Structure 1
Amino acid sequence: MIAALLLAGVVVVLWPTRLTVLTVRRPRDRAALLRAFATQDPRRAAVAGSALITALALLAGGPVAAVVSAAYSALGGRAFLRRSARQRAAVERSAALDGLAALAADLRAGLATAAAVTSPLAGATAASGRIGALTASVWRLAERTGAPAADLVERIEADARASDRAAASAAAQAAGAQATALLLAALPIGGIGLGMTIGADPVRVLLHTPIGAACAIVAVVLQTAGLLWAERLAR
C-alpha cells in the first residue's frame, strides 16, 4: 500500500508535463515542454506532496504522526508556494524595469507614441503595481505639464530600482532572525535523537501514548505559531 501511494503521488505531481518531458527525445520539444512546466501552478505539487506525506505517516505511525506530518508538510508547502510567487514576481518586475529602460530610449529617439506608453507597457507591468500605475499616467502628465516623457519614465525606473535595493537590504538584515527561528523549530529533532541515543524510545511515547500525543500536538501548534509570528515580524 505504501508503494502504491508513493507511485500515485509521483504520478499526481509529475502528470502531465514532466512525464511527457521524460518521453520526448528531441531537444527542441523537451525545451518547450520544460518552459510549459515552469509556468504551471505549483499549488498542485504542494498539495499532492502534503497529502502523500500525511498518508504515509498515517500508515507508518498512526493518527498522531499523520497530524504532525500534515502540519509540517503544510508549512513546507506554504514556504514553497511563497518562494515560487516571489520568484515569479521578481522575474515580472525585472522584465518591467527592462521595458521601462527600453521605452525611455525609444522616447528619446522619437520612436515611441502615446499608445506605446499607455497601453502595452501599462498592461505588461500591471503585476508590478505602482510601476504600472505610474507608467499609465506618464503621457497624460507630459501632455498637461510639458514634462519630457522620457525623463518621467527614467525617474519611474530609478525609483523602482532604488526600492528594490532597499527591499534587498531589509531582507538581508531579516535573514538572521529567520534563520534563528528555523533553528529553534528544528531543536526538538535533536532532543528526540538524544533520547534515542541514551536508549529511550521518545518516538513511541510521542505517537502511541496519550500524554506523548498531547505533547506532540501542543509542540506542533506552538512551533507553527512561532514560525508564523517570526515571519510576520520579518515581513
Structure 2
Amino acid sequence: MTSALVAAGCLVAALFLARPVPRGGRWPGWMLALVAGPALVAVVGVGVLVGAARFIAPAAVLAMLLVGGLLLRRRHRAGTDAAQTATRIQEVCEVLAAELASGRPVGRCLEDAVELWEPMSSVAMTHRLGAPVPDALRVLAGRPGAGDLTLVAAAWQVTQRSGGGLADSLAEVAGTLRERRATRRLVRSELSSARSTARLIAALPVLTLLLGSGTGGDPIGFLLTSPVGLACLAAGVLLTLLGLWWIETIAGSVEAAA
C-alpha cells in the first residue's frame, strides 16, 4: 500500500514537473500546489518505508506551512506588482499627453514612454511598422494591472476615426486614471487593516503555545509527539492557510473591482 502511494505521488509530481514552464517563467499557484501535494505524499511514504514516520509527520506539517506561506507571499507580491503597473500606466498616459501637446511626433513620444514602462516597446514597434496602435495597447492591457490601457486604446482609436486631438483625449484619460488611482489607494488602505487583523489572528495560536509552555504545560510536545496532537496541528495549519488565502482572495477581488 505504501509503495503504491509513493509511486502514485512520484508519478503525478513528475507529470506536472514535465509540463512546460508558462510564459513569464513563473508557475501559477494552483500548479505549485498540485506539484507540492504529491511530492509531500511521496516524502511521507518514503519516511514510513524507512521507519521514520515520527519525524516525517512533523516535517510534513512544516513543509505544508512553508509551501502555503510561499504561495501567500507570491499572491501578495503579484497584487503589489499589479498596483505598480497601474501607476506606471498613469505616468505613461500623462507623459504621452504632455509631449503630444508640445508638438512632438507620436513615434518619439512612444519611445519616451518605453523609458517609463519597458513593455510599451511593443506598442512603439507597432507604430514604427504602421500597424494599429490601439490593437497593440489592448493586447498589452491583458497584463496584470494593465487594464487601464483599454481606456488609452479607446481614446487613441476614437481620435483616429474622428480626427480629433490625441493629446486632449489622452489628457482626459490621464485625469480619469488619476481618479482611479486615488480610489484604489483608498481601497488598499482600508483593506490593509483587514489583512493585518488576519495576520494577527494567524499568529495568536503561536503566542498561545508559548503561554501554555510558560505556565508548566507542554502543548508543543503534545502537538509534535501524539497522533491526536499531530492531527490537530495539521488541521490548524491547513485552516490557518486557507483563512489567509480566503482573505487575500476577497481583498484581491475588491481591489480588482476598484
Q: Same fold (TM over 0.5)?
A: yes
2:201 maps to 1:184: yes
Label 1:71 to 1:201 Cα distance change in 2 as closer, same or farther (>3 A).
Answer: same
Whole-angstrom CA distance in 1 between matches of 2:185 and 2:25: 26
Inter-CA distance 189–42: structure 2 relative to 1 (3 Å threshold):
farther
Give aligned-pair identity as a percent. 26
Q: Quote the residue 1:94 is aligned against.
A: 87
Q: Deviations over 1:24-64 (max 9, x none)?
A: xxxxxxxxxxxxxxxx9787xxx9xxx9xx99xx99x8223
Helix, strand or coil at the partner of 1:147: coil
Query: Paired residue for 1:78?
Result: 71
Q: 1:71–1:161: structure 2 CA closer, same or farther, 3 Å change rule?
A: farther
Contact 2:199-2:244 within 8 A present in 1 as well: yes
Structure 2 counterparts to residues 1-235 of structure 1, below 5 A: 62-113=55-106, 119-120=123-124, 126=141, 127=143, 128-235=145-252
For these two proteins, the number of residue pairs brought into alignment is 185
Amino acid at match of 2:123: S
SS in 2 for 1:88: helix
Contact residue 131 and residue 156 of structure 1 kept, 8 A: no
- RMSD over aligned Cα, in angstroms? 3.3
1:110 alignment partner, SS class: coil
Q: Secondary structure at the match of 2:148?
A: helix
One-letter amino acid matched to 2:90 = L
Rounded Cα–Cα distance in structure 2 between residues aligned with 1:93 and 1:174:
18
**1:115 CA displacement:** 9.2
Larger deviation: 93-102 or 149-158?
93-102
Normalising by the residue count of structure 1, what TM-score does the alignment of the two structures yield? 0.65
- Per-residue deviation, 1:231: 2.4
For residues 51-109 of structure 1, give each alpha carbon's deviation from its aligned partner in whole angstroms, at most 9, with x where no partner exists.
9xx99xx99x8223223212221232123222332343344333322221121122212
For residue 150 of structure 1, what is the amino acid of its counterpart? A
Question: Gaps spanning 5+ residues in structure 1: where?
Answer: 1-39
8 Å Cα contact 1:114/1:139 also seen in 2: no
Structure 2 gap ranges (5+):
1-23, 111-121, 125-132, 253-258
